[in-house]
């Protein structure tokens, strides 16, 4: 949609556009201003689009000892199925901590889960391997501390911050 026109403003101008983004994964929006005296300014913003709803993952974790047989049935309505077999639980645990680290929503409950995942990942890192998420840990602790009420509670209950060694 392109909207051109003359507007009169003193400090700000607020406008609204209705857009339909059928079959697209992103939109861009450019807003510019041109004055008669030659002044020109503007900016372009990229707007990612996400499928309506929320992502849900269903699965099971089975420990197989010695000669174990399991029968799997996959729901044909789901988009994807993954079968993973590991000789240790650690790779699966580290994969889950990566999902927590990349999780985009940051209310206190999700921040606390993300912090637990990062601390687990740090504790699981091989000796001598540099852990590159300390800055994120400190930022999450600061966010949780900043949202803590005077009595030590936050949205979702009491926030306990313990040192990690």
Is residue 108 a part of any domain in this protein? Answer: yes
Binned at pLDDT 50, 70 and 90, residue 1 comes out as very low
How confident is the model over 105-136, as pLDDT tens digits? 778 888 888 898 888 888 888 788 888 889 98
How confident is the model over 19-78, as pLDDT tens digits? 777 777 788 888 888 888 999 888 888 888 877 777 677 777 777 888 888 888 888 887
Binned at pLDDT 50, 70 and 90, residue 165 comes out as very low
CB 26 within 8 A of CB 49: yes
Is residue 58 a part of any domain in this protein? Answer: no
Residue 46 and residue 27: Cα distance in Å, rounded? Answer: 6
Mean local confidence (pLDDT), 4-30:
77
Is residue 107 a part of any domain in this protein? Answer: yes
* Assigned token pair, 81: 């199925």
Pick from 142, 90, 147, 148: nearest CA to 120: 90
CA-to-CA dists, residue 42 to 13, 18, 20, 85, 106, angstroms: 13, 20, 23, 53, 31
Q: Is 155 a residue whose pLDDT tops 70?
A: no
DSSP 103-163: ----SHHHHHHHHHHHHHHHHHSPTTPPP--HHHHHHHHHHHHHT--TTSEETTEE-----
Is residue 57 a part of any domain in this protein? Answer: no
Per-residue model confidence (pLDDT) at position 163: 47
Q: Is 94 a residue whose pLDDT tops 50?
A: yes
Give the chain's domain count.
1
Is residue 135 a part of any domain in this protein? Answer: yes
Is residue 127 a part of any domain in this protein? Answer: yes
Place of tokens 């209705």: 18
Binned at pLDDT 50, 70 and 90, residue 152 comes out as low
Q: Which domain holds residue 131?
A: 90-148
Is residue 56 a part of any domain in this protein? Answer: no
CB atoms within 10 A of CB 114: 23
């Amino acid at each position: 949609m392109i909207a051109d026109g003359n507007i009169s403003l003193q400090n700000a101008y607020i406008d609204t556009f209705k857009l339909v983004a059928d079959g697209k994964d992103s939109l861009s929006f450019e807003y510019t201003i041109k004055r008669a005296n030659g002044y020109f300014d503007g900016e372009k913003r990229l707007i990612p689009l996400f499928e309506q709803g929320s992502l849900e993952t269903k699965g099971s974790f089975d420990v197989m000892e010695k000669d174990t047989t399991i029968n799997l049935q996959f729901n044909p309505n789901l988009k994807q199925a993954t079968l993973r077999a590991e000789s240790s639980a650690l790779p699966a645990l580290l994969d889950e901590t990566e999902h927590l680290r990349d999780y985009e929503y940051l209310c206190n409950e999700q921040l606390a889960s993300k912090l637990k995942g990062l601390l687990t990942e740090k504790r699981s890192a091989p000796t001598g391997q540099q852990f590159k998420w300390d800055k994120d840990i400190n930022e999450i602790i600061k966010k949780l501390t900043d949202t803590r009420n005077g009595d030590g509670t936050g949205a979702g209950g009491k926030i306990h911050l313990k040192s990690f060694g």
